[in-house]
Each structure stands twice: as C-alpha cells, then as structure tokens.
Amino acid sequence: MQNYLQELNEAQQEAVKFIDGPSLIIAGAGSGKTRVLTYKIVHLIQTGFNPNSILALTFTNKAAREMQERMKTLVDVDSVRKLWMGTFHSIFAKILRKESSVLGFPSTFSIYDADDSKKEINEIVKELKLDPAQYPANQVFGRISMAKNNLILPPSYETNIDIQKQDMVAKQPENAKIYKMYYQRCRRAGAMDFDDLLLNTNILFRDFPEIAEKYQKLFKFILVDEYQDTNYSQYLIIKKLSAFHRKICVVGDDSQSIYSFRGAKIENILNFKNDFSEYELFKLEQNYRSTQHIVNAANSLIEKNKNRIPKIVFTDNEAGSKIQIKELPSDRKESYFVAKNIVKTKRENEYSFFDFAILYRTNAQSRVFEDALRKSSIPYKIFGSISFYQRSEIKDIVAYLRLLINKRDDQAVKRIINYPRRGIGNTTIQKIVDVANSNNLNVWDVLIQIEKLNKLLNNRAITTVRSFVSLIELLTKEAQELDAIGLVNSVIEKTGIKKLMSEDRSPEGVGKFDNVQEFINAVQEFSEKDDENVTIENFLEEIALATDQDSDKENTDRVSLMTIHASKGLEYKNVYIVGVEEGLFPSFRSITSPKDIEEERRLFYVAITRSEKELYICHAKQRMKWGQYNTSSPSRFISEIDPKFVEFEIDEDYSEQMFDINQDYNKFALKNNSSSQLTPKIFVDKPKNLKSVDKHLKNGKKNLKDKDDNSGLAVGMKVNHAKFGDGEIIQIEGDDPNTKALVDFAGVGQKNLLLKFAKLTIIE
C-alpha cells in the first residue's frame, strides 16, 4: 500500500509525509496540489488516523467532491464517508446545527442566501424611510459582510471610527443602524446568512470553551485548501481548532489569491509562520500542466507584482507554441473568431469539445459567445451562472419547505404567502408585516392569530389568510410523516403550484415545469443516498450552499464557458481568454488602486495557467456595453508578458471582409426605431370587453345588488376625474360590478373607465 507515494515527485512526497506538526505548502499553478492533498489524507489514514478525526476544508463543493472521488479509488468508501471534508460553510453549518441552541438559534435554522439578505435589507431601508437609491442593498450588504468577516458586530460597527468615516464618505451614515436591524431580524427569523455561518462558529468557540475544546480534540489533523483565499473569520476558526493538536497543513498559492473582494486576506498565508513558528515549509514548483511558453509567460507576468512569496515555477514539458494575441474589431467578431477557431483547431488536432474553454472576466460577456457557438452548432456549457437552485420557480418550492421546518423564516413566508395567487395582496401583507415588526414578532406569529386584526383587515383577507395557515399546518404535519419525495410532491400538489405550472403552455412556463421535475429528481437522488442524513433539513442545507458547478452531471462533449474565478483549479488543452481590455480586465473599478491591480494581475495569471497547450488572448476594439458601442484598448497585462513568448495577430481579411461593424449598428438602430417610434400610441376608443359583457348578460347577473351607486351617471354628462380632468361621457355599458364608462377627456383623449375603481364626480 506504499505505492501511492511513488506517483509523487520528491517535493510532493516530502509534503505528504510530514505529519508531525504544522506545515505550509506553497503550490504553484499546475504543481499537483490536489494530488498532494488527496494523498496526504490517504497517508494519514494509512498511518492510523481515524478518518473521523481528519478535517479537510476546501473552497468549493466541487473541490471536496473531486478529492472524495479520487480517494475512493485509494481507500475504502467507508473511510472517505467518515472524513470531515467539505467547504468551510458546509462543515461549520453542520457543527452549528448540533450546537446552535446555546447561541439561541433553533437547530433547524434557515440559511439566507444573498437574495434573502438583500430583500431583508431593502425592507429595512424602506422601513427606516431611507432612500433606496442612496442605500443600494448590494452595497449595504457588502458592508455588513465585510464587518462580519472581520468579526465586527453591530455595537462595534457603530463605534468604529474607520468604518464610520468610510460610511460618511460613501454617504451612507445609517449603515450601522441598518446592520443592527438586519442582525436582529435574522436572529428573529432563526436564520443565518453565509457570513453568519462563520461568524457564529467563532462566537460559539469563543463563548463556549468546552464546546471549542470538544472539536479541538476531535480534529487530530486539519487540512486547508486554497489557504490564500481564506478571510479573517475563517482564519480564526482554523487557528482555534488547531490550537490543541497543532497538526495543521495549509496549502495555497499567493499568486492565485483572487477573492479579496469578499474579504480574503492574502496575508493569512504570509503570516502563517507567526502563529505556527515550528512549521515546515514545502514548495511545489514543478508544473506538470502547461507548455514552457505558457509557464514562462505566466511567470513573466506575475513578476510584476510586488507582494508575493518568491518561487520559481518551472516545467519539463515541451516548449509548445507561442501565446497568440488576437485583436478583433468588435466583441461580436471576437466571439465568431473563437467559434471558428475552435472548429478549426478541433479538426486539425482531433480534440474533443471538452478540450476547449472560453474564459472571461464578467458573466455578462458570455451572451455573445452563446450566440456565436449556437450559430456554429458547437455544443457548450456555461458554468457558474445562475445556480439551478437559485431559479425562482425552485426557490418558491424551497421557501415552502423552509417554512415547514422553520416557522420563523420571515423571508420564506413573505415569498409564498401569495404564491400561487390566493388573494393576499400587497396591502394585506404590508399590514401584517407592520404588525409583526412593531410587536417584534415573526410574520407567522401574526398569521396564526390573524383574527385579532379584524379592525385592520377585512373579512375576506382574514379568511384567505386563515386558509393559508391551515394549508401550512397541514403540510407541516405531513413533513413529519412523509419522506422527502412525498413531501415535495404534496407541497406542489396541495399548494396548487402543480396546477398553475401545468396550465402555462408558454415555452418559459414549460421550461419552469421541467425545472421543477428536475428538482424532484434531485430530491429523489438525495434521498437514495445510503446515509443516515437524508432528512429534508439536510437537503435544504445542501442546496442552500450549492453552486452551479454542482450540477454538471451530463457528460456530453462540449466547450466550457466560465468566468476566470470559476476556472480556478481547472485545466484545458486550449484556452481562450477573451475581452482582455483596459477597463474590463483589469476592471475599471480596480484601476485606481495598485493593490486591486495586483489582484487583477493574479487573476490573469490564473487564467493563463489554466491552459495546457494552446492559449489565445483576445481583445476587441469595440465592445457593446449597456446597449452602446464603446471603444476599448488592449489591456496593460498583454504588454506585461515577456514578448519572447507571444505572437501578435491582426487578421485584416477576417476583420474587413466578413464583418461590417456598421451593419451591426444599423441593425440595432432599426430595431429601436421600429419599436419605439414607428408604432403610434393608440388610445382605446372602443369597449374592449364586449365578450365579458355578453357573458354577464347570458348569466342573468344583471340586477344583483347595486352597492356602488352609479345610477347618477348617464351619457352626455360632464364629469371630472382626478387624473384626467374634465370630460364628457360617451357611453355606459356592462352590468354592475363591471360597469364601464367611455369618457372623452379634454386634451387626454378617450378613456374606458371601470366605475368601481374610477372616481368620477358629476359636473353637470
């Protein structure tokens, strides 16, 4: 069983074999980092460590899954299952579920995703009568996230001078107040957002030393992947947990630190020696992935960064071809070029589509490529766009499940109280929410005693709310009795979601229905796991922390499209880095800060090192942004690569003959014209609803009670309307609840008004 070591080079072997204390492994791009980590865990198990005492933290679910798969070929499946292996968020969510009671959270606490969080923030901003434009949920959430990742709770946020200064500069002096309320609301809802999972773990370990000790002793060996991307909150957890055994191995590459925007501290890797002075350092510098030209080009670029750990990544691979720098006239042509080039390269080298990746800086860039690939009949898959579970039709169902498990989940109730439409409108909801907030109650608490609001709400509203409550109570009961699949089926059945969706025959509607089917399949698959943890709670947790990368089950041959961030850890034979232009890459937001530019440079470094054989770097001279063409110049990063390793290419024929940018322009201009200018506004001057009038007549509903007295109105009368001013009645028709009057208003034209809504006063 020693042979696994022979598959490693000397440096890798040393790193794997050292298990006596803390170690730091600096792993250059393509140096076999995952392999080392995997084998190290295997080695630990072989040396006698109980898998249950090994904690391995990864950055993504995917990384964890990949390692697990690899390990299953090396050790028995049962050992792999017993490992504590997963993302920070999923591992500590699990621990928090066990221990949450001491923190005042139910073990069934909900996990708010970014959507829920932003909605909550928006509601608070409105409640505080602040201007939503001045307090964009995105920004405020970013501030709160930053605070939490640095363990700054609302009281400290309020008194922290630096933070207050920043908020003043940003013209958001009330952020502290919003944070405070947000914090309370989440607590009230029994909900944690992503950052809370880490923050609360810290609080747990800080305030309950006996619990901390339990886990400190449990985890005899701790491994952390992508250490350069950990934030302060994560760092503290790791430090605390490893304090007892001090057997910790962190793996990372400072050159690939690309997540500082969400609080990652590259310093964590640089400061490892401060906390673990007895540590051993291992450097993996041999690249097994790429050609010499690619490795050298990447090295020459990253050397421009000041803040880095010195290391020399080298390779014994072939020299390979030079990196191609390609200039294109427009973003559209960039996409056609890539499509054509993929076809050509594939044919010449007998590659599969799997061997190609298109990498971009922002998700928005994917659209044109989708277009070009589809037109060229190239199969493709976009990674990391919207996660399957983020789709609104799925989130609706998930909201029901969340509510069944945690009645305090206010975001979930608000989402589904009127979905499917059951006649609880915004006015009613707002009143209920107001009552909840002013009494510091959960929305659900108010709903179950809705009768008490008989002064505030009309009887109809109270009745509908009551039937909603009994629906939820019924489903809650079922949640105890049925298995996961049965429950989900019952939910979509009894709520009417199934009926509603099956009636929608539009292509989007059908697509949504398919997604719901797919969701049910996912539940099925989950419940078939031969695991003791197949509860609906665990399923919800898994999907709350799932990203899109998760759902790549199909293995049809196709080209991969993704952001560079999403590409970290992956490799492809042929890579196209597109949109390498100033303002886009590096992003215009980073251009004023040298520190941010360094991060963008590392990001570019990551992009380059994804490639094994061929690398194209493309930039377009014109790019469509927000519906308008802008001129852009090549990124500074292109000229930072040592020219020895690149070749420039401007294909004149290609750009002149095949495309004409003005054609694109004209097309858009034409489209805009036809929709907004050529279509004249038509005023309604004929009663549209003749059909419904007919129906009522047939049904003989003519002389039902006359509550709203419209009898004073007649054709020819002069009336006044609050908005439209004075006018003359041309026509009256329809029976009572739907009586309509056609009125000719001076200057406005003719309007067909429904009398039960329109307030007309008679002038003469």
Q: How far is the CB of 56 from DNA (least distance, A)?
A: 14
Residue 565 engages DNA in binding (rule: CB under 7 A) = yes
- Would you tell me the crossing angle of helices 209-218 and 194-207 to the nearest 10 degrees? 100
Q: How far is the CB of 414 from DNA (least distance, A)?
A: 12
Task: Read off the amino acid at residue 677.
Answer: Q
Angle at 301 between CA 299 and CA 307, to 5 degrees: 90
Intra-chain end-to-end CA distance of the chain, in Å: 102
Q: How far is the CB of 473 from DNA (least distance, A)?
A: 22
- H-run or E-run covering 141: helix 137-149
How far is it, in rounded angstroms, from Cα 149 to Cα 60?
18
Q: Which residue among 202, 437, 560, 752 contacts DNA (CB under 7 A)?
A: 752
Helix (H, G, I), strand (E, B) or coil at 588: coil
Considering the complex, state which of residue 589 and residue 695 has its C-beta at the smaller distance from DNA.
Answer: 589
Active site residue 653: no
Residue 38 engages DNA in binding (rule: CB under 7 A) = no
Tokens representing residue 466 in the block: 């009551």
Residues 186-205 that bind DNA (CB under 7 A): 194-195
Q: Which residue among 723, 747, 761, 764 contacts DNA (CB under 7 A)?
A: 723
| Range in contact with DNA (rule: CB under 7 A) among 34-42, 179-187, 292-300, 424-432 | 424-432
Catalytic residue among 610, 613, 621, 636: 610
How far is it, in rounded angstroms, from Cα 121 to Cα 185?
10
Q: Are 254 and 68 in contact (CB under 8 A)?
A: no
Residue 428 engages DNA in binding (rule: CB under 7 A) = yes
Residues 627-666 that bind DNA (CB under 7 A): 627
| Range in contact with DNA (rule: CB under 7 A) among 83-91, 217-225, 289-297, 632-640 | 83-91
Q: How far is the CB of 428 from DNA (least distance, A)?
A: 4
Binding string, 663-692, against DNA, x = CB under 7 A?
A: -----x--xx-----------x--------
Residue 560 engages DNA in binding (rule: CB under 7 A) = no
How far is it, in rounded angstroms, from Cα 359 to Cα 5?
34
Q: Which residue among 88, 221, 337, 645 contacts DNA (CB under 7 A)?
A: 88
Task: Read off the amino acid at residue 111.
Answer: I
Q: Which residue among 242, 563, 609, 655 contacts DNA (CB under 7 A)?
A: 563
Characterize the bridge pairing of strands 84-87 and 559-563.
unpaired
How far is it, in rounded angstroms, from Cα 21 to Cα 278?
8
Task: Read off the amino acid at residue 57.
Answer: L
Q: How far is the CB of 696 from DNA (least distance, A)?
A: 15
Tokens representing residue 458 in the block: 């009309």
Binding string, 582-601, against DNA, x = CB under 7 A?
A: -----xxxx-----x-----
Q: What is the DSSP letter of 384?
A: S
Q: Of 302, 295, 231, whose CA–CA distance to 269 is shortest?
A: 231
Residues 251-290 that bind DNA (CB under 7 A): 258-259, 261-262
Q: Which residue among 12, 22, 38, 59 contacts DNA (CB under 7 A)?
A: 59
Active site residue 148: no
Considering the complex, state which of residue 91 and residue 405 has its C-beta at the smaller distance from DNA.
Answer: 91
Contacts of 21 by beta carbon, 8 Å cutoff, 6+ apart: 246, 247, 276, 278, 279, 280
Residue 61 engages DNA in binding (rule: CB under 7 A) = yes
Q: Which residue among 148, 289, 512, 751 contacts DNA (CB under 7 A)?
A: 751
Q: Which residue among 375, 625, 686, 701 contacts DNA (CB under 7 A)?
A: 625
Phi-psi map region of 619: left, alpha, beta (phi>0 left; psi -120 to 50 alpha): beta
Residue 50 engages DNA in binding (rule: CB under 7 A) = no
Q: Which residue among 178, 359, 446, 545 contacts DNA (CB under 7 A)?
A: 545
Considering the complex, state which of residue 148 and residue 289 has its C-beta at the smaller distance from DNA.
Answer: 148
Considering the complex, state which of residue 236 and residue 566 has its C-beta at the smaller distance from DNA.
Answer: 566
How far is it, in rounded angstroms, from Cα 298 to Cα 31?
14
Residues 369-398 that bind DNA (CB under 7 A): 384, 387
Q: Of 384, 377, 365, 375, whose CA–CA distance to 576 is shortest?
A: 365
Catalytic residue among 34, 134, 324, 731: 34
Q: How far is the CB of 422 from DNA (least distance, A)?
A: 7
Contacts of 314 by beta carbon, 8 Å cutoff, 6+ apart: 285, 286, 287, 295
Residue where the block lists tokens 């993302």: 87
Q: How far is the CB of 581 from DNA (least distance, A)?
A: 12
Would you list the DSSP string of 490-540?
HHHHHTSHHHHHHH--SHHHHHHHHHHHHHHHHHHHHHTSSSS--SHHHHH
- What are the angstrom distances between the C-alpha of 178 and each of 136, 184, 202, 450, 458? 12, 10, 23, 29, 33
Residue 707 engages DNA in binding (rule: CB under 7 A) = no
Residue 418 engages DNA in binding (rule: CB under 7 A) = yes
Q: How far is the CB of 444 from DNA (least distance, A)?
A: 18
- H-run or E-run covering 345: helix 331-349
Catalytic residue among 99, 167, 193, 226: 226
Catalytic residue among 225, 254, 541, 664: 225
Torsion of CA 573, 576, 582, 588, to 10 degrees: -80
Secondary structure string (H, E, C) spanning 665-678: HHHHHHHHHHHHCC
Considering the complex, state which of residue 195 and residue 253 has its C-beta at the smaller distance from DNA.
Answer: 195
Active site residue 322: no
Active site residue 451: no
Considering the complex, state which of residue 345 and residue 549 has its C-beta at the smaller distance from DNA.
Answer: 549
Q: Which residue among 13, 23, 60, 495 contacts DNA (CB under 7 A)?
A: 60
Characterize the bridge pairing of strands 749-754 and 740-745.
antiparallel
- Using CB under 7 A as the binding criterion, the count of chain residues that bind DNA stands at 63
Q: How far is the CB of 360 from DNA (least distance, A)?
A: 8
Binding string, 94-133, against DNA, x = CB under 7 A?
A: --------------------x-------x---------xx
Residue 463 engages DNA in binding (rule: CB under 7 A) = no
497 burial (CB, 10 Å; 0-12 / 13-18 / 19+) is buried
Secondary structure string (H, E, C) spanning 58-121: ECCHHHHHHHHHHHHCCCCHHHHHHCEEEEHHHHHHHHHHHHHHHHCCCCCCEEECHHHHHHHH
Residue 138 engages DNA in binding (rule: CB under 7 A) = yes
How far is it, in rounded angstroms, from Cα 600 to Cα 320?
26
Catalytic residue among 256, 291, 495, 622: 256
Residue 239 engages DNA in binding (rule: CB under 7 A) = no
Active site residue 535: no
Active site residue 33: yes
Considering the complex, state which of residue 284 and residue 443 has its C-beta at the smaller distance from DNA.
Answer: 443
Q: Which residue among 128, 474, 715, 754 contacts DNA (CB under 7 A)?
A: 754
Q: Are 233 and 151 in contact (CB under 8 A)?
A: yes
Considering the complex, state which of residue 684 and residue 697 has its C-beta at the smaller distance from DNA.
Answer: 684
Interface residues with DNA (CB under 7 A) are: 59-61, 87-90, 114, 122, 132-133, 136, 138, 194-195, 258-259, 261-262, 361-364, 384, 387, 418, 421-428, 461, 545, 547-549, 562-563, 565-566, 587-590, 596, 624-627, 668, 671-672, 684, 723, 751-754, 757-758
Residues involved in catalysis: 33-34, 225-226, 256, 610
